[in-house]
Structure 1
Protein backbone atom coordinates (compact mmCIF):
# COMPACT_ATOMS: atom_id res chain seq x y z
CA UNK A 1 0.00 0.00 0.00
CA UNK A 2 1.33 3.43 -0.91
CA UNK A 3 2.41 5.80 1.86
CA UNK A 4 0.58 9.10 2.31
CA UNK A 5 3.83 11.07 2.31
CA UNK A 6 7.57 10.71 2.72
CA UNK A 7 7.06 11.13 6.46
CA UNK A 8 5.59 7.66 6.50
CA UNK A 9 8.62 6.01 4.92
CA UNK A 10 11.20 7.39 7.37
CA UNK A 11 12.61 4.44 9.29
CA UNK A 12 11.87 0.81 8.59
CA UNK A 13 15.12 0.54 6.65
CA UNK A 14 16.55 -2.91 5.86
CA UNK A 15 19.60 -4.45 7.50
CA UNK A 16 22.26 -6.65 5.93
CA UNK A 17 24.88 -9.05 7.29
CA UNK A 18 28.43 -8.07 6.34
CA UNK A 19 29.59 -11.67 6.22
CA UNK A 20 31.87 -11.17 3.21
CA UNK A 21 33.94 -8.51 4.95
CA UNK A 22 34.15 -10.52 8.15
CA UNK A 23 35.19 -13.72 6.37
CA UNK A 24 37.76 -11.94 4.18
CA UNK A 25 39.54 -10.77 7.34
CA UNK A 26 39.42 -14.16 9.03
CA UNK A 27 37.31 -12.92 11.92
CA UNK A 28 34.87 -14.84 14.12
CA UNK A 29 31.41 -13.31 14.48
CA UNK A 30 28.95 -11.24 12.46
CA UNK A 31 28.24 -7.58 11.74
CA UNK A 32 24.67 -6.39 11.19
CA UNK A 33 24.55 -3.14 9.21
CA UNK A 34 21.39 -1.03 9.51
CA UNK A 35 21.06 0.68 6.11
CA UNK A 36 19.83 4.08 7.21
CA UNK A 37 21.33 5.69 4.12
CA UNK A 38 18.17 4.36 2.44
CA UNK A 39 15.99 6.85 4.34
CA UNK A 40 14.40 9.59 2.15
CA UNK A 41 17.13 12.09 3.03
CA UNK A 42 19.83 9.42 2.64
CA UNK A 43 20.77 9.40 6.33
CA UNK A 44 19.84 8.24 9.81
CA UNK A 45 19.10 11.84 10.78
CA UNK A 46 15.69 11.63 9.12
CA UNK A 47 14.55 9.67 12.15
CA UNK A 48 15.74 12.31 14.61
CA UNK A 49 14.34 15.16 12.51
CA UNK A 50 10.91 13.56 12.48
CA UNK A 51 11.11 12.76 16.19
CA UNK A 52 12.06 16.31 17.17
CA UNK A 53 9.47 18.08 15.05
CA UNK A 54 6.59 15.76 15.88
CA UNK A 55 7.34 15.99 19.61
CA UNK A 56 7.65 19.80 19.43
CA UNK A 57 4.29 20.07 17.66
CA UNK A 58 2.67 17.77 20.20
CA UNK A 59 3.91 19.70 23.23
CA UNK A 60 3.21 23.12 21.70
CA UNK A 61 6.80 24.38 21.69
CA UNK A 62 6.63 24.66 17.88
CA UNK A 63 3.77 26.88 16.71
CA UNK A 64 1.97 26.56 13.36
CA UNK A 65 3.96 28.26 10.62
CA UNK A 66 6.92 29.06 12.90
CA UNK A 67 10.38 28.98 11.36
CA UNK A 68 12.66 26.12 12.41
CA UNK A 69 16.43 26.70 12.65
CA UNK A 70 19.18 24.18 13.24
CA UNK A 71 22.93 23.78 12.87
CA UNK A 72 23.88 20.80 10.79
CA UNK A 73 26.70 19.02 9.04
CA UNK A 74 24.12 18.39 6.33
CA UNK A 75 22.31 15.24 7.34
CA UNK A 76 20.07 16.63 10.07
CA UNK A 77 19.43 19.61 7.84
CA UNK A 78 18.32 17.35 5.01
CA UNK A 79 15.99 15.44 7.31
CA UNK A 80 14.56 18.66 8.71
CA UNK A 81 14.13 20.10 5.21
CA UNK A 82 11.96 17.09 4.31
CA UNK A 83 9.99 16.97 7.56
CA UNK A 84 9.47 20.73 7.87
CA UNK A 85 8.52 21.07 4.22
CA UNK A 86 5.86 18.39 4.49
CA UNK A 87 4.52 19.73 7.80
CA UNK A 88 4.41 23.38 6.73
CA UNK A 89 7.32 24.90 8.65
CA UNK A 90 9.93 27.16 6.99
CA UNK A 91 13.39 25.77 7.71
CA UNK A 92 16.80 27.46 7.93
CA UNK A 93 19.85 25.19 7.90
CA UNK A 94 23.08 26.66 9.28
CA UNK A 95 26.19 24.77 8.15
CA UNK A 96 29.95 25.18 8.07
CA UNK A 97 31.57 25.62 4.66
CA UNK A 98 33.87 22.81 5.76
CA UNK A 99 31.16 20.26 4.98
CA UNK A 100 30.74 18.81 1.50
CA UNK A 101 28.92 20.99 -1.04
CA UNK A 102 26.54 18.17 -1.97
CA UNK A 103 24.85 18.56 1.38
CA UNK A 104 24.12 22.27 0.98
CA UNK A 105 22.78 21.77 -2.54
CA UNK A 106 20.52 18.92 -1.44
CA UNK A 107 19.04 20.93 1.45
CA UNK A 108 18.36 23.88 -0.84
CA UNK A 109 16.73 21.60 -3.41
CA UNK A 110 14.41 20.33 -0.67
CA UNK A 111 13.29 23.87 0.14
CA UNK A 112 15.59 24.86 3.00
CA UNK A 113 17.19 28.25 3.34
CA UNK A 114 20.88 27.40 3.73
CA UNK A 115 23.23 29.71 5.62
CA UNK A 116 26.88 28.78 5.14
CA UNK A 117 29.35 29.82 7.84
CA UNK A 118 33.02 30.39 7.06
CA UNK A 119 35.50 28.17 8.87
CA UNK A 120 37.70 29.79 11.48
CA UNK A 121 41.19 30.98 10.50
CA UNK A 122 43.57 28.05 10.55
CA UNK A 123 40.86 25.44 10.01
CA UNK A 124 41.41 22.81 7.36
CA UNK A 125 39.05 23.02 4.35
CA UNK A 126 36.76 20.02 4.27
CA UNK A 127 37.30 19.23 7.95
CA UNK A 128 34.96 20.71 10.55
CA UNK A 129 36.45 21.09 14.03
CA UNK A 130 34.61 21.58 17.29
CA UNK A 131 35.57 25.27 17.13
CA UNK A 132 34.07 25.53 13.64
CA UNK A 133 30.88 23.94 14.95
CA UNK A 134 30.78 26.43 17.84
CA UNK A 135 30.86 29.26 15.30
CA UNK A 136 27.98 27.66 13.39
CA UNK A 137 26.08 27.41 16.69
CA UNK A 138 26.67 31.10 17.36
CA UNK A 139 25.22 32.06 13.98
CA UNK A 140 22.26 29.72 14.48
CA UNK A 141 21.48 31.37 17.83
CA UNK A 142 21.52 34.80 16.19
CA UNK A 143 19.05 33.67 13.54
CA UNK A 144 16.74 32.10 16.14
CA UNK A 145 16.67 35.36 18.10
CA UNK A 146 16.18 37.56 15.04
CA UNK A 147 13.32 35.51 13.61
CA UNK A 148 11.62 34.26 16.76
CA UNK A 149 12.32 30.77 15.47
CA UNK A 150 12.16 27.32 17.02
CA UNK A 151 15.57 25.77 17.53
CA UNK A 152 15.50 22.05 16.69
CA UNK A 153 18.54 21.65 18.96
CA UNK A 154 19.62 18.15 17.95
CA UNK A 155 22.31 18.00 20.67
CA UNK A 156 19.73 18.44 23.42
CA UNK A 157 16.15 17.85 22.24
CA UNK A 158 14.76 14.60 23.64
CA UNK A 159 13.07 13.76 20.34
CA UNK A 160 16.45 12.87 18.85
CA UNK A 161 17.35 9.94 21.10
CA UNK A 162 13.69 8.98 21.53
CA UNK A 163 13.37 8.36 17.79
CA UNK A 164 16.22 5.83 17.93
CA UNK A 165 14.86 4.22 21.09
CA UNK A 166 11.43 3.83 19.52
CA UNK A 167 12.45 2.81 15.98
CA UNK A 168 16.14 2.03 15.37
CA UNK A 169 16.60 -0.27 18.38
CA UNK A 170 13.55 -2.49 17.86
CA UNK A 171 14.28 -2.72 14.14
CA UNK A 172 17.86 -3.85 14.78
CA UNK A 173 16.66 -6.34 17.37
CA UNK A 174 14.08 -7.81 14.99
CA UNK A 175 16.44 -7.81 12.01
CA UNK A 176 19.03 -9.79 14.01
CA UNK A 177 16.43 -12.24 15.38
CA UNK A 178 17.46 -11.05 18.84
CA UNK A 179 21.07 -12.09 18.39
CA UNK A 180 22.79 -8.71 18.80
CA UNK A 181 25.44 -8.78 21.51
CA UNK A 182 26.90 -5.29 20.97
CA UNK A 183 26.22 -1.94 19.31
CA UNK A 184 28.91 0.50 18.15
CA UNK A 185 28.33 4.04 16.90
CA UNK A 186 30.36 7.05 15.79
CA UNK A 187 29.48 9.88 18.14
CA UNK A 188 28.05 13.12 16.78
CA UNK A 189 25.17 14.39 18.92
CA UNK A 190 25.14 11.06 20.75
CA UNK A 191 21.42 10.60 20.01
CA UNK A 192 21.82 7.46 17.93
CA UNK A 193 24.02 5.74 20.50
CA UNK A 194 22.01 6.88 23.52
CA UNK A 195 18.60 5.97 22.12
CA UNK A 196 19.62 2.77 20.37
CA UNK A 197 21.64 1.24 23.19
CA UNK A 198 18.86 2.02 25.68
CA UNK A 199 16.33 0.41 23.37
CA UNK A 200 18.47 -2.68 22.81
CA UNK A 201 19.06 -3.07 26.53
CA UNK A 202 15.30 -2.91 27.05
CA UNK A 203 15.27 -6.13 25.01
CA UNK A 204 18.40 -7.61 26.59
CA UNK A 205 20.23 -5.81 29.43
CA UNK A 206 23.45 -7.64 28.52
CA UNK A 207 23.92 -5.87 25.16
CA UNK A 208 27.21 -3.98 25.25
CA UNK A 209 27.67 -0.49 23.84
CA UNK A 210 30.77 1.09 22.30
CA UNK A 211 31.38 4.70 21.30
CA UNK A 212 33.51 5.41 18.24
CA UNK A 213 35.58 8.58 17.92
CA UNK A 214 38.25 9.85 15.53
CA UNK A 215 41.84 9.16 16.45
CA UNK A 216 43.22 12.34 17.98
CA UNK A 217 39.77 13.63 18.92
CA UNK A 218 38.58 11.08 21.48
CA UNK A 219 37.29 13.61 23.99
CA UNK A 220 34.48 11.37 25.26
CA UNK A 221 37.05 8.74 26.14
CA UNK A 222 38.95 11.35 28.13
CA UNK A 223 41.92 11.51 25.78
CA UNK A 224 43.80 14.65 24.85
CA UNK A 225 42.49 16.20 21.63
CA UNK A 226 45.39 16.54 19.20
CA UNK A 227 43.61 16.34 15.84
CA UNK A 228 40.29 18.23 15.94
CA UNK A 229 40.34 18.72 12.16
CA UNK A 230 39.89 15.04 11.23
CA UNK A 231 38.11 14.21 7.94
CA UNK A 232 35.22 12.14 9.33
CA UNK A 233 32.29 14.51 8.78
CA UNK A 234 29.20 14.47 10.99
CA UNK A 235 30.78 13.81 14.36
CA UNK A 236 33.91 13.69 16.45
CA UNK A 237 33.53 17.31 17.52
CA UNK A 238 35.85 16.93 20.54
CA UNK A 239 33.03 17.47 23.02
CA UNK A 240 33.83 15.87 26.36
CA UNK A 241 30.16 15.62 27.37
CA UNK A 242 26.98 14.91 25.42
CA UNK A 243 23.50 15.06 26.95
CA UNK A 244 22.30 11.81 25.39
CA UNK A 245 25.11 9.84 27.00
CA UNK A 246 24.38 10.89 30.57
CA UNK A 247 21.89 8.13 31.36
CA UNK A 248 23.45 5.22 29.46
CA UNK A 249 26.62 3.32 30.17
CA UNK A 250 29.47 2.82 27.72
CA UNK A 251 31.32 -0.49 27.78
CA UNK A 252 34.23 0.70 25.69
CA UNK A 253 35.66 3.43 23.48
CA UNK A 254 37.21 2.89 20.06
CA UNK A 255 39.15 5.23 17.80
CA UNK A 256 39.35 5.16 14.01
CA UNK A 257 41.60 7.44 11.98
CA UNK A 258 40.55 9.12 8.77
CA UNK A 259 42.48 6.73 6.55
CA UNK A 260 40.89 3.69 8.19
CA UNK A 261 37.38 5.18 7.90
CA UNK A 262 38.08 5.96 4.23
CA UNK A 263 39.50 2.56 3.29
CA UNK A 264 36.76 0.72 5.18
CA UNK A 265 34.04 2.73 3.43
CA UNK A 266 35.69 1.88 0.12
CA UNK A 267 35.87 -1.80 1.06
CA UNK A 268 32.24 -1.71 2.18
CA UNK A 269 31.23 -0.51 -1.27
CA UNK A 270 33.39 -2.98 -3.20
CA UNK A 271 32.91 -6.05 -1.03
CA UNK A 272 29.32 -5.64 0.13
CA UNK A 273 27.74 -3.18 -2.35
CA UNK A 274 26.93 -0.75 0.48
CA UNK A 275 27.66 2.84 -0.61
CA UNK A 276 28.05 4.62 2.72
CA UNK A 277 29.88 7.73 3.88
CA UNK A 278 32.84 8.46 6.14
CA UNK A 279 31.07 7.70 9.42
CA UNK A 280 29.71 4.43 8.02
CA UNK A 281 33.31 3.46 7.31
CA UNK A 282 34.24 4.41 10.87
CA UNK A 283 31.42 2.31 12.31
CA UNK A 284 32.27 -0.79 10.28
CA UNK A 285 36.00 -0.38 11.04
CA UNK A 286 35.12 -0.27 14.74
CA UNK A 287 32.92 -3.35 14.45
CA UNK A 288 35.78 -5.23 12.77
CA UNK A 289 38.06 -4.17 15.65
CA UNK A 290 35.53 -5.54 18.12
CA UNK A 291 35.28 -8.91 16.38
CA UNK A 292 39.07 -9.10 16.49
CA UNK A 293 39.00 -8.33 20.22
CA UNK A 294 36.39 -8.19 22.99
CA UNK A 295 33.40 -9.17 20.83
CA UNK A 296 35.03 -12.17 19.12
CA UNK A 297 32.29 -14.59 18.14
CA UNK A 298 29.58 -12.03 18.82
CA UNK A 299 27.08 -10.06 16.75
CA UNK A 300 27.90 -6.36 16.46
CA UNK A 301 25.28 -3.97 15.08
CA UNK A 302 26.16 -0.68 13.39
CA UNK A 303 24.29 1.97 11.45
CA UNK A 304 25.24 2.98 7.91
CA UNK A 305 24.70 6.62 8.74
CA UNK A 306 24.53 8.24 5.32
CA UNK A 307 25.15 7.81 1.60
CA UNK A 308 28.47 7.95 -0.19
CA UNK A 309 26.75 10.21 -2.71
CA UNK A 310 27.17 13.04 -0.20
CA UNK A 311 30.96 12.80 -0.45
CA UNK A 312 31.65 12.76 -4.18
CA UNK A 313 33.44 16.12 -3.93
CA UNK A 314 35.69 14.88 -1.09
CA UNK A 315 38.66 12.52 -1.06
CA UNK A 316 36.54 9.62 0.20
CA UNK A 317 36.43 8.02 -3.24
CA UNK A 318 39.90 8.97 -4.49
Structure 2
Protein backbone atom coordinates (compact mmCIF):
# COMPACT_ATOMS: atom_id res chain seq x y z
CA UNK A 1 0.00 0.00 0.00
CA UNK A 2 1.37 3.42 -0.95
CA UNK A 3 2.05 5.95 1.82
CA UNK A 4 0.14 9.23 1.85
CA UNK A 5 3.28 11.22 2.70
CA UNK A 6 7.03 10.74 2.94
CA UNK A 7 6.55 11.31 6.68
CA UNK A 8 4.90 7.91 6.82
CA UNK A 9 8.00 6.08 5.63
CA UNK A 10 10.44 7.52 8.18
CA UNK A 11 11.62 4.65 10.37
CA UNK A 12 10.79 1.00 9.95
CA UNK A 13 14.13 0.52 8.19
CA UNK A 14 15.45 -3.01 7.50
CA UNK A 15 18.25 -4.63 9.46
CA UNK A 16 20.87 -7.16 8.36
CA UNK A 17 23.33 -9.48 10.07
CA UNK A 18 27.00 -8.69 9.37
CA UNK A 19 27.99 -12.35 9.41
CA UNK A 20 30.50 -11.99 6.57
CA UNK A 21 32.51 -9.31 8.38
CA UNK A 22 32.46 -11.24 11.63
CA UNK A 23 33.49 -14.54 10.05
CA UNK A 24 36.23 -12.93 7.97
CA UNK A 25 37.91 -11.77 11.19
CA UNK A 26 37.55 -15.11 12.97
CA UNK A 27 35.29 -13.67 15.66
CA UNK A 28 32.52 -15.31 17.64
CA UNK A 29 29.09 -13.67 17.87
CA UNK A 30 26.90 -11.58 15.59
CA UNK A 31 26.37 -7.92 14.68
CA UNK A 32 22.97 -6.60 13.66
CA UNK A 33 23.11 -3.44 11.52
CA UNK A 34 20.03 -1.21 11.44
CA UNK A 35 20.05 0.38 7.97
CA UNK A 36 18.92 3.89 8.84
CA UNK A 37 20.76 5.26 5.81
CA UNK A 38 17.68 4.00 3.94
CA UNK A 39 15.47 6.66 5.56
CA UNK A 40 14.17 9.33 3.11
CA UNK A 41 16.94 11.78 4.07
CA UNK A 42 19.57 9.02 4.03
CA UNK A 43 20.17 9.11 7.80
CA UNK A 44 18.89 8.18 11.24
CA UNK A 45 18.25 11.86 11.97
CA UNK A 46 14.97 11.72 10.03
CA UNK A 47 13.50 9.99 13.09
CA UNK A 48 14.66 12.73 15.47
CA UNK A 49 13.55 15.50 13.10
CA UNK A 50 10.02 14.14 12.94
CA UNK A 51 10.02 13.49 16.69
CA UNK A 52 11.08 17.03 17.59
CA UNK A 53 8.68 18.79 15.22
CA UNK A 54 5.68 16.65 16.17
CA UNK A 55 6.42 17.08 19.88
CA UNK A 56 6.78 20.85 19.45
CA UNK A 57 3.46 20.99 17.62
CA UNK A 58 1.74 18.98 20.33
CA UNK A 59 3.19 21.13 23.13
CA UNK A 60 2.41 24.43 21.40
CA UNK A 61 6.11 25.36 21.15
CA UNK A 62 5.86 25.67 17.36
CA UNK A 63 3.27 27.96 15.78
CA UNK A 64 1.82 27.41 12.28
CA UNK A 65 4.18 28.81 9.68
CA UNK A 66 6.88 29.68 12.20
CA UNK A 67 10.50 29.45 11.04
CA UNK A 68 12.52 26.53 12.39
CA UNK A 69 16.28 26.89 12.95
CA UNK A 70 18.86 24.29 13.91
CA UNK A 71 22.59 23.71 13.86
CA UNK A 72 23.54 20.57 12.00
CA UNK A 73 26.38 18.58 10.52
CA UNK A 74 23.98 17.97 7.66
CA UNK A 75 21.94 14.94 8.65
CA UNK A 76 19.60 16.57 11.16
CA UNK A 77 19.26 19.47 8.75
CA UNK A 78 18.27 17.14 5.94
CA UNK A 79 15.65 15.46 8.13
CA UNK A 80 14.28 18.82 9.25
CA UNK A 81 14.26 20.11 5.66
CA UNK A 82 12.03 17.18 4.70
CA UNK A 83 9.73 17.34 7.73
CA UNK A 84 9.43 21.14 7.74
CA UNK A 85 8.87 21.24 4.00
CA UNK A 86 6.04 18.73 4.20
CA UNK A 87 4.46 20.54 7.15
CA UNK A 88 4.85 24.09 5.83
CA UNK A 89 7.53 25.52 8.13
CA UNK A 90 10.40 27.58 6.69
CA UNK A 91 13.67 25.97 7.79
CA UNK A 92 17.14 27.45 8.27
CA UNK A 93 20.06 25.02 8.59
CA UNK A 94 23.23 26.39 10.19
CA UNK A 95 26.30 24.29 9.41
CA UNK A 96 30.09 24.51 9.64
CA UNK A 97 31.99 24.77 6.38
CA UNK A 98 34.05 21.87 7.71
CA UNK A 99 31.26 19.42 6.89
CA UNK A 100 31.05 17.80 3.47
CA UNK A 101 29.55 19.96 0.71
CA UNK A 102 27.12 17.20 -0.34
CA UNK A 103 25.14 17.81 2.83
CA UNK A 104 24.68 21.52 2.19
CA UNK A 105 23.62 20.89 -1.39
CA UNK A 106 21.09 18.27 -0.36
CA UNK A 107 19.51 20.50 2.29
CA UNK A 108 19.24 23.36 -0.17
CA UNK A 109 17.67 21.08 -2.78
CA UNK A 110 15.04 20.11 -0.20
CA UNK A 111 14.09 23.75 0.36
CA UNK A 112 16.22 24.69 3.35
CA UNK A 113 17.99 28.02 3.70
CA UNK A 114 21.57 26.97 4.42
CA UNK A 115 23.87 29.25 6.43
CA UNK A 116 27.50 28.12 6.32
CA UNK A 117 29.75 29.18 9.19
CA UNK A 118 33.51 29.54 8.77
CA UNK A 119 35.69 27.23 10.84
CA UNK A 120 37.96 28.64 13.52
CA UNK A 121 41.50 29.62 12.48
CA UNK A 122 43.65 26.53 12.21
CA UNK A 123 40.72 24.12 11.83
CA UNK A 124 40.95 21.43 9.16
CA UNK A 125 38.23 21.12 6.49
CA UNK A 126 36.35 17.88 7.04
CA UNK A 127 37.27 17.87 10.73
CA UNK A 128 34.74 19.83 12.80
CA UNK A 129 35.89 20.48 16.36
CA UNK A 130 33.90 21.40 19.45
CA UNK A 131 35.06 24.98 18.95
CA UNK A 132 33.71 24.99 15.40
CA UNK A 133 30.39 23.62 16.69
CA UNK A 134 30.24 26.36 19.34
CA UNK A 135 30.60 28.97 16.61
CA UNK A 136 27.76 27.35 14.63
CA UNK A 137 25.63 27.39 17.78
CA UNK A 138 26.33 31.10 18.28
CA UNK A 139 25.17 31.92 14.76
CA UNK A 140 22.09 29.72 15.15
CA UNK A 141 21.12 31.56 18.34
CA UNK A 142 21.44 34.91 16.60
CA UNK A 143 19.15 33.79 13.78
CA UNK A 144 16.56 32.43 16.23
CA UNK A 145 16.44 35.78 18.02
CA UNK A 146 16.38 37.86 14.86
CA UNK A 147 13.57 35.86 13.25
CA UNK A 148 11.53 34.86 16.28
CA UNK A 149 12.15 31.27 15.24
CA UNK A 150 11.70 27.91 16.93
CA UNK A 151 15.02 26.25 17.78
CA UNK A 152 14.82 22.51 17.14
CA UNK A 153 17.73 22.05 19.61
CA UNK A 154 18.61 18.44 18.90
CA UNK A 155 21.08 18.35 21.82
CA UNK A 156 18.33 19.02 24.37
CA UNK A 157 14.84 18.57 22.94
CA UNK A 158 13.16 15.45 24.36
CA UNK A 159 11.57 14.70 20.99
CA UNK A 160 14.98 13.53 19.75
CA UNK A 161 15.64 10.73 22.21
CA UNK A 162 11.92 9.88 22.48
CA UNK A 163 11.81 9.10 18.76
CA UNK A 164 14.52 6.46 19.19
CA UNK A 165 12.92 5.10 22.37
CA UNK A 166 9.62 4.66 20.57
CA UNK A 167 10.94 3.41 17.22
CA UNK A 168 14.63 2.49 16.87
CA UNK A 169 14.92 0.44 20.06
CA UNK A 170 11.74 -1.63 19.64
CA UNK A 171 12.51 -2.18 15.95
CA UNK A 172 16.03 -3.45 16.67
CA UNK A 173 14.78 -5.78 19.39
CA UNK A 174 12.23 -7.29 17.00
CA UNK A 175 14.72 -7.35 14.11
CA UNK A 176 17.12 -9.43 16.24
CA UNK A 177 14.37 -11.85 17.26
CA UNK A 178 14.88 -10.55 20.81
CA UNK A 179 18.49 -11.77 20.92
CA UNK A 180 20.57 -8.58 21.38
CA UNK A 181 23.02 -8.63 24.27
CA UNK A 182 24.64 -5.23 23.60
CA UNK A 183 24.18 -1.96 21.73
CA UNK A 184 26.96 0.42 20.67
CA UNK A 185 26.65 3.88 19.12
CA UNK A 186 28.89 6.79 18.12
CA UNK A 187 27.89 9.83 20.19
CA UNK A 188 26.65 12.96 18.41
CA UNK A 189 23.81 14.52 20.36
CA UNK A 190 23.47 11.27 22.32
CA UNK A 191 19.80 11.02 21.36
CA UNK A 192 20.07 7.78 19.40
CA UNK A 193 22.10 6.02 22.08
CA UNK A 194 19.96 7.18 25.00
CA UNK A 195 16.58 6.43 23.44
CA UNK A 196 17.61 3.11 21.92
CA UNK A 197 19.45 1.70 24.91
CA UNK A 198 16.62 2.62 27.27
CA UNK A 199 14.14 0.80 25.05
CA UNK A 200 16.40 -2.24 24.78
CA UNK A 201 17.15 -2.40 28.50
CA UNK A 202 13.42 -2.19 29.22
CA UNK A 203 13.13 -5.45 27.28
CA UNK A 204 16.39 -7.03 28.48
CA UNK A 205 17.82 -5.45 31.66
CA UNK A 206 21.14 -7.29 31.29
CA UNK A 207 21.80 -5.82 27.84
CA UNK A 208 24.91 -3.64 27.86
CA UNK A 209 25.23 -0.23 26.21
CA UNK A 210 28.48 1.27 24.91
CA UNK A 211 29.22 4.83 23.78
CA UNK A 212 31.80 5.42 21.03
CA UNK A 213 34.01 8.51 20.73
CA UNK A 214 36.89 9.41 18.40
CA UNK A 215 40.37 8.49 19.55
CA UNK A 216 41.93 11.49 21.24
CA UNK A 217 38.59 13.18 21.93
CA UNK A 218 37.14 10.89 24.59
CA UNK A 219 35.62 13.65 26.73
CA UNK A 220 32.51 11.67 27.70
CA UNK A 221 34.76 8.92 29.04
CA UNK A 222 36.43 11.52 31.26
CA UNK A 223 39.77 11.49 29.45
CA UNK A 224 41.91 14.44 28.42
CA UNK A 225 41.13 15.74 24.94
CA UNK A 226 44.37 15.44 22.97
CA UNK A 227 43.03 15.62 19.41
CA UNK A 228 39.65 17.38 19.03
CA UNK A 229 39.87 17.35 15.21
CA UNK A 230 38.91 14.10 13.48
CA UNK A 231 37.17 13.02 10.26
CA UNK A 232 34.15 11.29 11.83
CA UNK A 233 31.54 13.93 11.02
CA UNK A 234 28.34 14.25 13.02
CA UNK A 235 29.72 13.71 16.51
CA UNK A 236 32.75 13.38 18.73
CA UNK A 237 32.86 17.10 19.49
CA UNK A 238 34.88 16.60 22.70
CA UNK A 239 31.91 17.76 24.77
CA UNK A 240 32.25 16.35 28.30
CA UNK A 241 28.53 16.37 29.12
CA UNK A 242 25.63 15.51 26.82
CA UNK A 243 22.16 16.21 28.22
CA UNK A 244 20.71 12.88 27.06
CA UNK A 245 23.49 10.87 28.71
CA UNK A 246 23.28 12.51 32.14
CA UNK A 247 20.81 9.97 33.49
CA UNK A 248 21.23 7.30 30.83
CA UNK A 249 22.93 3.97 31.61
CA UNK A 250 26.34 3.56 29.96
CA UNK A 251 28.14 0.28 30.59
CA UNK A 252 31.34 1.24 28.80
CA UNK A 253 33.12 3.68 26.50
CA UNK A 254 35.16 2.89 23.42
CA UNK A 255 37.36 5.00 21.17
CA UNK A 256 37.80 4.58 17.42
CA UNK A 257 40.41 6.32 15.28
CA UNK A 258 39.48 8.08 12.07
CA UNK A 259 41.52 5.51 10.17
CA UNK A 260 39.71 2.60 11.84
CA UNK A 261 36.33 4.15 11.11
CA UNK A 262 37.36 4.70 7.47
CA UNK A 263 38.60 1.14 7.10
CA UNK A 264 35.44 -0.32 8.62
CA UNK A 265 33.19 1.82 6.41
CA UNK A 266 35.07 0.58 3.36
CA UNK A 267 34.80 -2.99 4.64
CA UNK A 268 31.05 -2.58 5.10
CA UNK A 269 30.81 -1.59 1.44
CA UNK A 270 33.08 -4.34 0.07
CA UNK A 271 32.03 -7.22 2.29
CA UNK A 272 28.37 -6.49 3.05
CA UNK A 273 27.28 -4.12 0.26
CA UNK A 274 26.39 -1.43 2.82
CA UNK A 275 27.37 2.06 1.60
CA UNK A 276 27.49 3.94 4.89
CA UNK A 277 29.35 6.97 6.20
CA UNK A 278 32.15 7.59 8.69
CA UNK A 279 30.02 7.11 11.83
CA UNK A 280 28.66 3.82 10.47
CA UNK A 281 32.27 2.73 10.13
CA UNK A 282 32.97 3.83 13.70
CA UNK A 283 30.02 1.78 14.95
CA UNK A 284 31.09 -1.30 13.00
CA UNK A 285 34.70 -0.99 14.16
CA UNK A 286 33.57 -0.67 17.79
CA UNK A 287 31.26 -3.68 17.51
CA UNK A 288 34.05 -5.81 16.04
CA UNK A 289 36.33 -4.70 18.88
CA UNK A 290 33.70 -5.72 21.41
CA UNK A 291 33.31 -9.18 19.85
CA UNK A 292 37.08 -9.57 20.11
CA UNK A 293 36.92 -8.61 23.79
CA UNK A 294 34.24 -8.22 26.46
CA UNK A 295 31.28 -9.16 24.22
CA UNK A 296 32.83 -12.28 22.68
CA UNK A 297 30.04 -14.57 21.50
CA UNK A 298 27.41 -11.88 22.01
CA UNK A 299 24.87 -10.24 19.72
CA UNK A 300 25.57 -6.52 19.19
CA UNK A 301 23.27 -3.95 17.61
CA UNK A 302 24.57 -0.95 15.64
CA UNK A 303 23.03 1.74 13.46
CA UNK A 304 24.20 2.58 9.95
CA UNK A 305 23.75 6.28 10.64
CA UNK A 306 23.95 7.78 7.16
CA UNK A 307 24.85 7.18 3.53
CA UNK A 308 28.29 7.12 2.00
CA UNK A 309 26.87 9.36 -0.73
CA UNK A 310 27.26 12.25 1.71
CA UNK A 311 31.05 11.80 1.77
CA UNK A 312 32.05 11.60 -1.88
CA UNK A 313 34.04 14.83 -1.55
CA UNK A 314 36.03 13.44 1.41
CA UNK A 315 38.80 10.85 1.57
CA UNK A 316 36.40 8.17 2.79
CA UNK A 317 36.08 6.78 -0.72
CA UNK A 318 39.56 7.43 -2.06
CA UNK A 319 40.75 5.34 -4.99
CA UNK A 320 43.96 4.25 -3.33
Please classify the TM superposition score into its range, dividing by the shorter chain length.
over 0.9
Note the 1:170-189 alignment, pairs <5 A. Answer: 170-189=170-189
The aligned residue for residue 233 of structure 1 is: 233
Structure 1 ranges of 4+ moved more than 3 A: none
**Larger deviation: 183-192 or 199-208?**
199-208
Give matches, 1:149-228, under 5 Å. Answer: 149-228=149-228
Aligned equivalent of 2:288: 288
Residues in 2 aligned to 1:204 and 1:93: alpha-carbon distance in whole angstroms: 38
In structure 2, distance between residues paired with 1:229 and 1:292 = 27
CA separation in 1, counterparts of 2:118 and 2:246? 32
Report the Cα offset of residue 125 of structure 1. 1.2
Query: Given the two structures, how large is their TM-score scaled by the length of structure 2?
Result: 0.99
Cα displacement (A) at 1:249 = 1.3
Aligned positions of 1:1-318 closer than 5 A:
1-318=1-318
Q: What residue ranges of structure 1 are gaps of 5+ in the alignment?
A: none
Structure 2 gap segments, 5+ residues each: none
SS at the partner of 1:264?
helix
Task: Give the CA deviation at 1:293.
Answer: 0.5
SS at match of 2:92: strand
Provide the aligned length of Structure 1 versus Structure 2: 318
Instruction: Tell me how far apart the structure 1 counterparts of residues 93 and 14 of structure 2 sit (CA, whole Å).
Output: 28
Q: TM-score, normalised by structure 1?
A: 1.00
Distance in 1 between residues matched to 2:312 and 2:223, nearest whole Å: 32
Q: Deviations over 1:61-101 (max 9, x none)?
A: 00000000000000000000000000010000000000000
SS in 1 for 2:99: coil
